[in-house]
Structure 1
């Protein structure tokens, strides 16, 4: 089974990357419904256990089948590169209720047991109220499950976009797709997504394509957005293996003796580019300490920096990579 997206030259000119905090929220809600399938997120599941216990997510889970369509309005492709959650949820609340009803009906058509239940009938009978109730629940989920950890998540997602933007310039669109996910391939102006339920084909017609990295969709690439939404692919972000671990638990002792514990932890934490706030949150350091250590490491030629969006991202130079390598001498 596969999805096929047919692009022309104008579509290729309109391909772009974007982040979606709302998309991460609904994907995280899915993880809670099937935690046994997402071992990489067990540390996160432990962190949010108490907060999640206070949420009734069943209305959302009813609309999140294991296979088949889920409402696109849960996380429509963002119109800008880095929207806030508040901007995205406001867009959901402003959605035409008739469009929401059609989206709900498409989802429930694959779940007759829900469609013919009192809950399903109520959703379709009053789509305006359903839309607001679901938006309220997504907002509660954001505040409880994602917002406390968003600096760390956003840093990883921004680093993924920065990395793949460079790869796009280096290897081109065709090779980039295969690097985003082994489920993606390109041939004869057609992007194919394999390993999905059903068959789907869409001609983009100049709308372009949004590429959205995600932590909680791992390991799958996801598409299927229907008109009027802009076509999009949600793909698994790089680097989630170390997302919930403290670098102090992995930092080589020899590196700590050479640079000092604080600077060594920062250098070792930069498996992916990150900003000052994200490093401070991840390591539990004061912002001022992180900023000072970054300046020293940069002056020593171990880090380089560049501006991306609203923040400055730091990454290792070749010398920094060599020093932080697990198999470096004395590590």
Structure 2
């Protein structure tokens, strides 16, 4: 049966978004662990294959089972803040209650016959405090090797997804937001239904705390639900634009758009399928950074782009007007 979440009034008024670098790290590791799920990320996986092989993540792989298995929720608990720092999330992970860690690890190992009784399984369960510390250290190592170098671009894609869905909620209310999360997520009669997700007997039902919505670069093609007690009900879904983050060729602008803006400026606008820096755009389009910077300034002044600083970078992304112009929706652009 699908997983059905019945949301009360309090839950609906407390729906929120968050971006979790810790959860993204474990979703990336699940992608590496499950080769049938590669899909859009073949290029990233090829680049990371040697890096992953050198990390020696065997203790973590123990708790990242095949599809259908349970991964302990304390490895990536729902964040309490909208945009937590990885350091804060790792500190929270290291502070996991040993009894909770033992219970979740037992459940995870129990999905594979004999694994809990194996030497590795027994060692992990005999000292949950040490195991949690070791898993946090390995997670930090994986974060630094796999995600940290590209995190500004990843976070920009996730923030762009949240901005898009927030606009949908502003235009059409929560109904518009929840019906557009994913093709396998239904919303009707105050019930959020995940059709590809099996019913979970000990699922955490919505209880007035609201539902946490988290876009993910790596979760495709699934929607993941983290609902085991005591964590807040959470839905992790594929972010818009995640498939173009690493692999997509630069799109060619429509002829009409090129005539309107000029070929280079139109190409820069059309190429912003995910938020990018001036350096990224210059490399992708074969242009001088100064030329790209000039185009970006004009496009931003025209209301087609917005910019946001991420650490040492300034990332540019299309506004709703820019999206409408690139997509050829003349009426939406005029509005």
Query: So what's the TM-score if we normalise by structure 1?
Result: 0.85
SS in 2 for 1:195: strand
SS in 2 for 1:132: helix
SS in 1 for 2:197: coil
1:252 is displaced (CA, Å) by 4.7
Task: Figure out how many residues of one structure are paired with residues of the other and give that number.
Answer: 319
1:289 is displaced (CA, Å) by 6.0
Q: Distance in 1 between matches of 2:59 and 2:176?
A: 40
Who is 2:103 aligned against? 102
From 222, 229, 232, the counterpart of 1:230: 232
Out of 139-148 and 191-200, give the one that drifted further: 191-200
1:51–1:321 distance in 2 versus 1, CA, 3 Å: same
Who is 1:329 aligned against? none
Cα distance per residue 1:192-233 (max 9 Å; x no partner) = 212123444543221111100001000111113222211110
Cα distance per residue 1:119-150 (max 9 Å; x no partner) = 11111100000001101111111111111111
Q: Distance in 2 between matches of 1:315 and 1:150?
A: 19
Q: Distance in 2 between matches of 1:167 and 1:132?
A: 41
Out of 70-79 and 195-204, give the one that drifted further: 195-204
- RMSD value, Cα: 2.9
Are 1:140 and 2:141 an aligned pair?
yes
Who is 2:333 aligned against? none
SS in 1 for 2:180: helix
Give ranges in structure 2 of 5+ residues lacking alignment: 329-335
1:251–1:63 distance in 2 versus 1, CA, 3 Å: same
Dislocated runs of 4+, deviation >3 Å = 197-202, 249-261, 279-292, 306-314, 316-325
Are 1:208 and 2:210 an aligned pair?
yes
SS in 2 for 1:271: coil
Q: Distance in 1 between matches of 2:70 and 2:327?
A: 44
1:214–1:162 distance in 2 versus 1, CA, 3 Å: same
1:51 is displaced (CA, Å) by 1.4
Cα distance per residue 1:3-59 (max 9 Å; x no partner) = 222221111111101111111110111111123322200111122222112112222
Who is 1:161 aligned against? 162
1:288 is displaced (CA, Å) by 6.6
Out of 85-94 and 287-296, give the one that drifted further: 287-296
1:324 is displaced (CA, Å) by 7.2
1:198–1:131 distance in 2 versus 1, CA, 3 Å: same
SS in 2 for 1:92: helix
Who is 2:332 aligned against? none
1:171 is displaced (CA, Å) by 2.1
1:126–1:226 distance in 2 versus 1, CA, 3 Å: same
Are 1:217 and 2:219 an aligned pair?
yes
Alignment of 1:319-330 (within 5 A): 321-322=324-325
Who is 2:279 aligned against? 280
Q: Distance in 2 between matches of 1:186 and 1:316?
A: 27
Query: Does the 8 Å CA contact 1:267/1:316 hold for their aligned counterparts?
Result: no
1:187 is displaced (CA, Å) by 3.1
1:287–1:73 distance in 2 versus 1, CA, 3 Å: farther
1:118 is displaced (CA, Å) by 0.6
Out of 134-143 and 308-317, give the one that drifted further: 308-317
SS in 2 for 1:172: helix
Alignment of 1:174-193 (within 5 A): 174-193=175-194
Who is 1:32 aligned against? 32
Cα distance per residue 1:71-95 (max 9 Å; x no partner) = 0011111111111211211110111
SS in 2 for 1:196: strand
Query: Does the 8 Å CA contact 1:17/1:210 hold for their aligned counterparts?
Result: yes
Are 1:84 and 2:85 an aligned pair?
yes
Query: Does the 8 Å CA contact 1:223/1:233 hold for their aligned counterparts?
Result: yes
